[in-house]
Amino acid sequence: MRTHEELRRAVGALDGRSYKAYKSIEGEWSFGSFGIRIDHVQADPFAEPTRVRAFVPPDMARIPEPMRHGRARADGIAAWLARRFARVADLESKARGTGKSGLIRLNAPGQEVLRQTAVQLGPDGSIQARFTVGLPAYGRRIRGKAAAELLCEDVPATIWRALRWDQYDPAELRTHAETNEDAEYLREWLSELGLVAFVGDGAILPRASGVSALPLRSGPVVPFDSPPELRVTAELPNRGRITGMGVPEGVTLVVGGGFHGKSTLLQALQWGVYNHRPGDGREFVVSSASTVKVRAEDGRSVSGVDISPFIADLPLGRDTRFFSTPNASGSTSQAAGILEAVEAGAHTLLVDEDTAATNFMIRDHRMQALVPKELEPITPFIDRVRQLYDEHGVSSVIVVGGSGDYLDVADTVIAMEEYTPRLVTAKARQIASIFPTGRVSEVSGPMGRRPPRVPEPGSVSARHGRRSANVRLHGRSHFRFGADDIDLSAVEQLASVSQTRAVALALLLASERFVDGQHTVPQILGLVLEEIDRRGLDALDSRMVGDLAEFRRFELAAALNRLRSLRVRAPDAPST
Ligand code: ADP
Ligand code: MG
């Protein structure tokens, strides 16, 4: 392997030449105690920066074996190392010319601990870090000396300071490994107890602002304090005994006055499908992995979903057992969202009145009297939420401050009072019996089961006319897929751009390999995730990129379901 001294000479010799000449430094270089590989050199100083990988052997990283034992610990450490690397890279980066010249960047995870390609910890304790550098230029001319400083000083200093054993505090490493393992353990433990979520006492749920995932620190912050009746005790492998609120299966209501913390609690549950970094405040707020936030999303497209449990007899005789629209209403979008989530395998639904369609949630006694059932297509959620649980085993946690009618259908009622939960189920029952609403249920039969949909092969394609497959990311909540723009801004459990990128590429993989007119949606989701399980996230992009993060089947389903070109086989059509 060529040495770093040779690299220094090689880039020095390129000084003043045209940017393209940088191509010659692609390949592996040894720095003695570790190596780097320059995978792909950028085309010009403004293009996507140059991709580099660092290979750090076990004796340089010295992550103690017990600390990386098991997937959860290794993931916790990898996420921590990625954040370290990104921080150090920022400090070591110097502006060294035009455009991105001199910048070193690594895609660090946010508050959520997700398995990602940026930093990977091998079973032998080796580390692979994937980052980018901006190769220095003046205009389009190579700056040889600056390139030598970047590649032979800044880059090795970053790798050294971020990943070498004597640079970090072993106690910090241990915390990251153990916290992640504890959270993972909690999630497994939930299902054994028949709980859908756990919120640890002392947890900090509110965030710094509506646009920040960091914990709220300014002003008075009320740590979580579980109601005694819902308090459960878990014995965690590392931290030991911890108490908190167990949210039982079934139908749970979160009630309370405005601004008392209802939505904040629900949001904590929605992010509880992922583990959180130490210091986040939500390290021990954990919900079952198949928890899906559903909401109204008017304007989205819907393809061949049987929404008849919620919506039937639309004006002009439109069929809702095979419902497609390029422009759903609030209520139809929410109905579709629920049935799609159930199709993908959701076991818990989270619904917040703030983002729900009112007419989908409730039709009260007076409205029932004024508008006869025959003229109202909607069977509100309140009349199906029990069936979802009793027939399908799908629990719901619903934030409702505005409708007492829901008291009739709840198993558990939690009231938020000044950010502290109280169990008020008994009181709610009493009120429900003293003040009957007069409302009559609008369902006569069971909800029934619907067979999963089968997407039509040509309808899921990233090709645009005769051009080859085109998938392009636009931030965390949009990507281009062939001729379509997929809008995921109402898909609330996407944690990072890297996760969205992985979802986009997974949809491409699905379209090329598994959407064949035979496989159902849940089968396609399963096949994609199996492939990633077997081959890692690199199965999605063979270029060994550092900006992919693991994702759930529900977010992939959400992307597929929002593809406007999606067509599914009609229920009575013969199989192709
Ligand atoms: P609701 O849904 O009941 O109307 P929110 O959950 O939106 O209320 O919370 C209202 C405000 O209170 C938000 O700004 C939120 O950040 C803040 N908040 C929530 N929980 C806490 C807490 N435990 N301590 C301090 N502030 C909180
Ligand atoms: Mg709210």
For the segment 238-249, what is each residue's pLDDT rounded down to a tens digit? 999 999 999 999
pLDDT at 573: 63
List, for the chain, all residue ranges whose pLDDT scores fall below the cut of 70.
Answer: 573-576
Residue whose CA is at the smallest distance from ligand 1 atom 22: 222
Spatial distance between the Cα atoms of 414 and 255, rounded to a whole number of angstroms: 6
pLDDT at 41: 97
Q: How many angstroms does the Cα of residue 353 sit away from the middle of ligand 2? A: 7
Q: How many angstroms does the Cα of residue 517 sit away from the middle of ligand 2? A: 42
- What is the Cα 111 distance to its own chain's centre? 11
Ligand 1-lining residues (CB < 6 angstroms): 205-206, 216, 221-222, 256, 258-264, 416, 419
Residue by residue, DSSP assigns 326-395 as: SS--HHHHHHHHHHHHHHHT-SEEEEEGGGS-HHHH---HHHHHHS-GGG--B--GGGTHHHHHHHH--E
For the segment 268-292, what is each residue's pLDDT rounded down to a tens digit? 999 999 999 999 999 999 999 999 9
For a ligand 1 pocket test, name from 199, 225, 263, 264 the mutation site with the most ligand atoms within 8 angstroms of its C-beta: 264
Pairing of strands 348-352, 302-305: unpaired
Cβ atoms within 10 Å, residue 324: 16
Spatial distance between the Cα atoms of 267 and 416, rounded to a whole number of angstroms: 14
Q: How many angstroms does the Cα of residue 255 sit away from the middle of ligand 2? A: 10
Indicate the burial class of 212 (C-beta count within 10 angstroms; 0-12, 13-18, 19 or more): exposed
pLDDT at 269: 98
Q: How many angstroms does the Cα of residue 37 sit away from the middle of ligand 2? A: 49
Residue 328 has which token pair?
């759903």
pLDDT at 575: 56
pLDDT at 478: 97
pLDDT at 314: 82
**Contact of 295 with 381, CB cutoff 8 Å:** no
